[in-house]
Amino acid sequence: MRKGKFIQIIAYLILAGIVLRFITGIHIPAVAVVLLILIVLIFTGSKKKTGRKEEQLPNLTKTKEEHYETLGMTDQEIDFFRDTMNTTKKQIVQLQENMNASTKLRAIDLRNDTLRVSKALFKELVKDPKKLHLANHFLYTHLPNLVDLTGKYLEIDDHEIKNKQTYEKLEESAQIIDQVSKLIKKDYEQFVAEDLEDLDVEISVAKNSLKRDNESINNQE
């Protein structure tokens, strides 16, 4: 609780005690006032903390818990990952609302597959939480920035009266949104690059194996 709020509560309670004593003539001990203050603070503080936790994170399913344990993740790593992904999910939902609210933004989305790529990267992270660090730019810079930029774009675009400067700002914002969308696509390509390299190796091994088998068959003939 902030200091100002704390002082305000104390002031209200003391004032209430003075008024009650003035009306009823009953003396309210200072200890009782202090205890009342502590009860109020504990109740409101715990209620606010519990509500915030429930709002942030959904219940952890048994399947996901087993998945995390299989990967060898600690409780701290699990909590951090779930909190990060919960925030990311909300940002993607907001981005989808923003993109669908404007013809210009929908065109940018279609051109860059922004929403589809964002959801695909989210799914990849869910499958392999240990790769969370490989998506730092997407999670903490590009996606949050894009949500803010599209939100501001819609706010300006909603102005009843627009002048030349307004249209110029909208066009500039659209260009920046398009550039950040391209960065998100690059984030995804870099994230799956290792998987593509592994696939290339497997394909190469398979080709060599097929070549040896074909040579062996030809020699037998």
Instruction: Give pLDDT tens digits for 102-156.
Output: 999 999 999 999 999 999 999 999 999 999 999 999 999 999 999 999 999 999 9
Token pair listed for 23: 């009306």
Residue 190, classed as helix, strand or coil, is helix
pTM of the predicted structure, to 2 decimals: 0.65
Decide if pLDDT at 88 tops 50: yes
Give the relative orientation of helices 114-127 and 103-112 as an angle to the nearest 10 degrees. 50
Task: Kindly state the average pLDDT of the residues 24-49.
Answer: 56
Burial 105-125 (b: 16+ CB within 10 A, else e): beebbeebebbebbeebbebb
The pLDDT value recorded for residue 65 is 86
- For the chain, the domains span 3-56, 62-204
Distance CA 170, CA 198 (A): 43
Instruction: Give the model's confidence band at 4: pLDDT under 50 very low, under 70 low, under 90 confident, else very high.
Output: low
Instruction: Give the model's confidence band at 31: pLDDT under 50 very low, under 70 low, under 90 confident, else very high.
Output: low
Distance CA 49, CA 1 (A): 11
The pLDDT value recorded for residue 57 is 75
